Structures are given as structure tokens and as C-alpha cells.
A and B are shown apart, each in its own frame.
Chain A
């Protein structure tokens, strides 16, 4: 699972191993409109709610098709929350921000 693909790499990498740190992986297949939308939506949400404590790894399965089987990817785009556990997957272009926040369990942290 630690295969490091050539991806956009971590966008921001500050305090790792922090309890509130989000390690996210976005699986795309080429630069399709859906992928680009998902990318943009994800960035927006993270910047707004998780500034400084997230990492996004974008994996292009067109380049690395074998990772699809290893990571059980079916739908494109798929967002995988690797940290904090448990593992969560969100499929789609993440156009519904509310659902992204709930899906990633970001919502409760936003309150204080």
C-alpha cells in the first residue's frame, strides 16, 4: 500500500502523526472533467476546514493501473481517507460540500 506513485504529491506537509491530521488520497483516471472537478472541490474543502493539517495524494490510475486492484478502486474519482482511521471512501466529484464534510468526519471539528 505504500507504493508511491508519481502524483501531485503532498500539497502541504506540516505536523504529521498529529491526531487531527488528514491523509487523503484521490484516485483519478486521466485529466477528465470529473477528476478535475473532484480535485478542485476537495482542495476547496480542505483549505477551508483543514488548513495546515491535511495531505492529498493524487493517483492517476491511467499511469498506474495495477494500483486499482490493490486499493480496491472501482469508481472514478474515489477519495480515500487513509488517516484518521477508519478508512473511508467517497466516490464522485465531491460536488456536495456538506456531504464531503460529513463523510470525512470534518463537521464536528468545525464547531469550536
Chain B
């Protein structure tokens, strides 16, 4: 049928309203057909089924019937209340019908042929009473332990699933995980349209819930195992996969919150949407740097999510106050949110799942994870989770600051958790021991797409924040702490000495000039004396000449007179 092949309508789907699950299945469960949800005890089958039902009634205008073979209606109401659903109200409003099928083996005896028409009638009546489009059969398999005639049971179940399909009811059938097959009684044989497997694995005493769509006839679906969460906000499944490297990049920069650090980065800050790794040994102020980053982001009016794994939010707020940051006001204004959890509270996947959900709910522009080194587990797994976490943040254009604790003052491949190549910027903080004191220093190992300072800079944390200190770089290397202070005073002394020397020379010169001038004056005086002398002699000569002249005249006159 070529005509049909060209325009095949996609399989109609009934959305579950479970965050993430509808993405994996490209729309939800097959509408009008039964789906088998199987898993071991405590894997969340009933929660999954009731969420499907409640969301149907509240979000998609599809009333539903919950037929429970295990829990009493009251227990069911109490259990789903923990997810925040008010089942009683939905029942009172005629949106959901609950029927508890109780089969007490001790009071039942089988005698001759029978069928399960009663079950059909009950289901039919419940469906009609609320106009149901959705049905949950919660562990119908318990019937196998209540009734002896397995042949009847099997044929009746086959008939039941056929009936459900005929009525066009979207149905979730839960089943206990069996050995070697999905369910103990091989229900998958009857429900072949869609099979979802729930798993609750314990690894190193930490439980992780996972979900996998084993089979989905007539539809593509995600095939991986996805972690999922059940908590007060319901169920969420997280389709976390390695995202393609196609995220948008920004050339806008955002401040690190530390002016001195911004100045070390060629672009004047980190690129928006980039991932920054801040590694450092104990007590180097990783959390303080994070607080500065958060404070700057909130001051720009950005929403900020602070994941803390080692401290309580109150502790961080108090500590930030010691460097003059008031984070409490950002929390009050709703721009900043803390999400605190012990690393051991969940498995790694669960942490990722939880963060994924928090990102979805809060839609932050900046995220801090403090610290990533808190995650313990097999290296491969930690790395894969962190990789996906970074991908997730990048794909959303979230500027992320991740801190990591280093145990020694050197970088080893284990300690950066294989993160270095994922990171756009990497700032290293460390304590340097010199002359009997520890000084905090920092340098930018890398910052993609911008030039950055190659200097190791000393910084101090004080009541006015984190301040970078102008580096002393000399022939003896970069000096920090008191060595820097000593060197500075040594230089000061040298400067004073040089100035005094110059002054002395100046004085010498002046003195010599004075002496010379005095000498010159003396010589000039001598010359003048000589001049005077000569002038005197000259006048005496002239006097004498005049006298001689006078004498000669007198003589002449005398001679003449005598003649």
C-alpha cells in the first residue's frame, strides 16, 4: 500500500506529563493501547502509574481508573499524596475512580469452571463512571497467586488486554520483575506494544533509579537507561545524553566578581556560557571565589543556582559576609537559589538528574557547583556524569563555575577528574609555603579564546573582598607574602640611599663651584691690584717724565740765560 506508506500517520500518543519521559518516547505512551511497566519491588512502578493517571486527569483532560490489586485505596491516596497529588479530590470530582481488587486466598475456593467476567464488569463500570481514557492495572499479576487455574487466568488476561484495546483505553499495567523475563508471569507476552523497565540499583550503598524503554512498537524511542527521580515534586526522567557540540557561543564577557582576576583575563572576564574550573588546595578560598562570582551575577540581575555539596547555604552566606558580600539579599530577591545535598545522598546519576530538573525549574543564567571533587565513584562514571553535566550547562548557555579540591600542590591527572579539556577556563589557586608562611596565589592556566596573564598573582581575602596584589617580579623570581614586603622595603632603602648619594654629589659640586668662584675672585682681585699698581707706576713715570721735562726746560732756560 504505497499510499499509506507515504503518508503514514504517526502513532497517536498519550502524554504522561512525566518530565523527560515524553521526550524519550517522543510524545508519551501509545494511546489506546496497553503498556507494561515492570520493575522489582520498590522501583517506582505504582508511582509511575499513578503519575500517568493523575497527569491525565489534571493536565490532559483524560480521566482515569486506578485498579489496584495490591494497595488499598486509602494507602494509594496516602502514597501519591507524597508526590503532591490530591487523589481524594480527583475522586470526589469524578476525574479518577479507584477500585481495589482484593482477593483473599484463604476465603476462596475454586470449584469448576469460571471466568473473570466480574473483573471486566468492574473495570467497565469504573471506566464508564468517570468517562475514563486511561486505566492503570497495578500488578495484576498478583492474581496468579490468588487463583489456581492458570490457564483460565491467562486466557482471561489476554481477553482483558484485547478488551482494553478495543475500548481505546491507554493502559499502564505494572508487573513485578521476574527471573529471565520482564515479569514473573510473562505478561510481556500479552502486552507487546510498549514495555518500560524500571530499575533500582544499589551501588556502593547508593541507590539510583533508572528507566529504560525496552520496546515501543511503531515508534522510535530513546534506548538508553535514564536515571529518574521520585520526590516531592513527582517523577522526572532525565534524558541526559552527550549533547552534540553545537551550542551557541557568546563573545560577551561576564565578570568573575573579582576585579583583579578580570584584569588578568584578556577579554576582561569569562565568556558568557563558558565553563570555568577553579581548582585549589584546601583553604584557598574556592567557595569565596564562587560567592564573588555569584554576587556579581546576581548584581547583573541574572538568576543564579548554587549547588553545594559540602556546606549548608547558611554557612556559605555567613562566610561570604566575611568578605563583604551579602548573598542573603539575592536569595530574598529570588535571584539566587541554593541547592544543597550531600554527595552520598544519591548516586551520581541521580545528582545529575536532580540538577537537570533544578535547571529546568529555575532557568538560571549562572551556575556554581561547589565542589565537583565531592563526587565519589568509579572514575569512568564520575567523568561521564561530569561530561554530561558540562554539556548540559553549555547547551543552555549557562555560565558555570565548577570548583574542585586538589589534595597537593601539583596537578595530577586523577585530580582534575579529566575535566581540564572540557573546561574553557581554568584558574588554579594554591597556597605557597615560603619563609615559614603560607601565601595564597592564583594563576590562569588557560582561558580559551582570549589572551590572559601568565603571572602568578598573590591575593588576599579581606573584609572588602578578594584583592589582587601587584606582583613583585625581580631577578630572584616572583615574591609573595613577607618576602615581597622585605624586598619592597629593601628597595625602599636602596632608593633612599641613592637619593642621599645624589644629594651629596650635588652638595660637593656646589662646594667646588663656590671654591672655584672664590679662587676666581682672588685672581681677579690680584689682577686688579696689579692693574692698579701698573696704573700707579704709569702715573709716576708720567710724573717723572713731566718732572724731567720741567727740569730740562728749566735747564734750558737756565742755559740760555747763562749764555
For residue B488, CB closer than 8 A to chain A, the reply is: no
Q: Are B110 and A92 in contact (CB under 8 A)?
A: yes
Q: B residues within 8 A CB of A78? A: 114, 118
Partner among A61, A65, A89 whose Cβ is within 8 Å of the Cβ of B107: A89
For residue B548, CB closer than 8 A to chain A, the reply is: no
On whether A74 and B119 interact (CB within 8 A), knowing A65-B124, A65-B125, A69-B125, the answer reads: yes
For residue A108, CB closer than 8 A to chain B, the reply is: no
Partner among B107, B115, B119, B121 whose Cβ is within 8 Å of the Cβ of A34: B115
Q: Are B103 and A74 in contact (CB under 8 A)?
A: yes
Q: Are B121 and A29 in contact (CB under 8 A)?
A: yes
Kindly provide the distance from the CB of B524 to the nearest chain A CB, expressed in whole angstroms. Answer: 139
CA distance A93 to B149 in the complex (A): 13
What's the tally of chain B residues with a CB closer than 8 Å to chain A? 24
For residue A26, CB closer than 8 A to chain B, the reply is: no
Nearest neighbor of B97 in chain A, beta-carbon distance: A69
A-B interface contact total, Cβ < 8 Å: 95
CA distance A33 to B369 in the complex (A): 70
For residue B193, CB closer than 8 A to chain A, the reply is: no
Q: Are A91 and B110 in contact (CB under 8 A)?
A: yes
What's the tally of chain A residues with a CB closer than 8 Å to chain B? 34
CA distance A86 to B116 in the complex (A): 24
Q: Are A72 and B111 in contact (CB under 8 A)?
A: no
CA distance A97 to B124 in the complex (A): 33
For residue A52, CB closer than 8 A to chain B, the reply is: no
Contact residues, B84-107 vs A (CB, 8 A)? 99, 101-103, 107
On whether A75 and B116 interact (CB within 8 A), knowing A69-B99, A103-B111, the answer reads: yes
CA distance A102 to B363 in the complex (A): 69
Q: A residues within 8 A CB of B113? A: 34, 37, 92-93, 95
Q: B residues within 8 A CB of A73? A: 118, 122
Contact residues, A84-110 vs B (CB, 8 A)? 86-96, 99-100, 103
Nearest neighbor of A68 in chain B, beta-carbon distance: B122
On whether A29 and B117 interact (CB within 8 A), knowing A72-B102, A89-B107, the answer reads: yes
On whether A92 and B118 interact (CB within 8 A), knowing A69-B99, A74-B103, A87-B107, the answer reads: no
CA distance A27 to B115 in the complex (A): 12
Q: Are B125 and A91 in contact (CB under 8 A)?
A: no
Supply 13 A–B pairs (Cβ within 8 Å), ascending by A: A27-B118, A34-B112, A34-B114, A62-B121, A73-B122, A74-B143, A75-B117, A75-B119, A76-B117, A78-B114, A86-B107, A91-B108, A103-B111
Q: Are A95 and B111 in contact (CB under 8 A)?
A: yes
Q: B residues within 8 A CB of A87? A: 107
On whether A68 and B108 interact (CB within 8 A), knowing A76-B115, A76-B116, A93-B114, the answer reads: no
Q: A residues within 8 A CB of B99? A: 69
Q: B residues within 8 A CB of A38? A: 112
Partner among B107, B112, B117 whose Cβ is within 8 Å of the Cβ of A93: B112
On whether A99 and B109 interact (CB within 8 A), knowing A73-B122, A75-B147, the answer reads: yes
Per-position 1/0 for B124-153, Cβ under 8 A of A? 111000000000000000010001000000
Kindly provide the distance from the CB of B548 to the nearest chain A CB, expressed in whole angstroms. Answer: 174
CA distance A92 to B122 in the complex (A): 18
Kindly provide the distance from the CB of A90 to the nearest chain B CB, expressed in whole angstroms. Answer: 5
Shortest 8 CB-CB contacts between residues of A and residues of B = A92-B112, A65-B125, A95-B112, A93-B112, A76-B117, A73-B118, A92-B111, A29-B117
Partner among A65, A90, A99, A100 whose Cβ is within 8 Å of the Cβ of B121: A65
Q: A residues within 8 A CB of B116? A: 74-76
Consensus secondary structure, chain B interface: mixed
CA distance A101 to B112 in the complex (A): 14
Q: B residues within 8 A CB of A100? A: 111
Q: B residues within 8 A CB of A62? A: 121
CA distance A41 to B117 in the complex (A): 20
Kindly provide the distance from the CB of B319 to the nearest chain A CB, expressed in whole angstroms. Answer: 60
Q: Are A65 and B122 in contact (CB under 8 A)?
A: yes
Most buried by B among A65, A75, A103: A75
CA distance A65 to B121 in the complex (A): 6
Kindly provide the distance from the CB of A32 to the nearest chain B CB, expressed in whole angstroms. Answer: 8
Q: Are A66 and B112 in contact (CB under 8 A)?
A: no
Q: Are B114 and A88 in contact (CB under 8 A)?
A: no
Q: B residues within 8 A CB of A92? A: 110-114
Nearest neighbor of B113 in chain A, beta-carbon distance: A93
Q: B residues within 8 A CB of A96? A: 111-112
Most buried by A among B109, B112, B116: B112
Nearest neighbor of A30 in chain B, beta-carbon distance: B117
Most buried by B among A27, A66, A74, A88: A74
Kindly provide the distance from the CB of B100 to the nearest chain A CB, expressed in whole angstroms. Answer: 8
Contact residues, B506-523 vs A (CB, 8 A)? none
CA distance A52 to B480 in the complex (A): 110
Q: A residues within 8 A CB of B118? A: 27, 29, 61, 68, 73-76, 78
CA distance A88 to B124 in the complex (A): 26
Kindly provide the distance from the CB of A98 to the nearest chain B CB, expressed in whole angstroms. Answer: 9
Given A61-B117, A103-B111, 10 other A-B residues pairs in contact with their CB atoms under 8 A:
A41-B112, A62-B121, A68-B121, A74-B119, A75-B114, A75-B116, A75-B119, A78-B118, A88-B107, A91-B111
Nearest neighbor of B69 in chain A, beta-carbon distance: A74
CA distance A104 to B99 in the complex (A): 28
Nearest neighbor of A102 in chain B, beta-carbon distance: B109
Kindly provide the distance from the CB of B57 to the nearest chain A CB, expressed in whole angstroms. Answer: 19
Nearest neighbor of A29 in chain B, beta-carbon distance: B117
CA distance A37 to B111 in the complex (A): 12
Nearest neighbor of A33 in chain B, beta-carbon distance: B113
Partner among A65, A72, A90 whose Cβ is within 8 Å of the Cβ of B101: A72
Kindly provide the distance from the CB of B94 to the nearest chain A CB, expressed in whole angstroms. Answer: 14
Q: A residues within 8 A CB of B110? A: 90-92
CA distance A69 to B114 in the complex (A): 18
Q: B residues within 8 A CB of A72? A: 101-103
On whether A69 and B122 interact (CB within 8 A), knowing A75-B147, A88-B109, the answer reads: yes
CA distance A76 to B156 in the complex (A): 12
Contact residues, A14-49 vs B (CB, 8 A)? 27, 29, 32, 34, 37-38, 41
CA distance A93 to B113 in the complex (A): 5
Kindly provide the distance from the CB of B66 to the nearest chain A CB, expressed in whole angstroms. Answer: 12
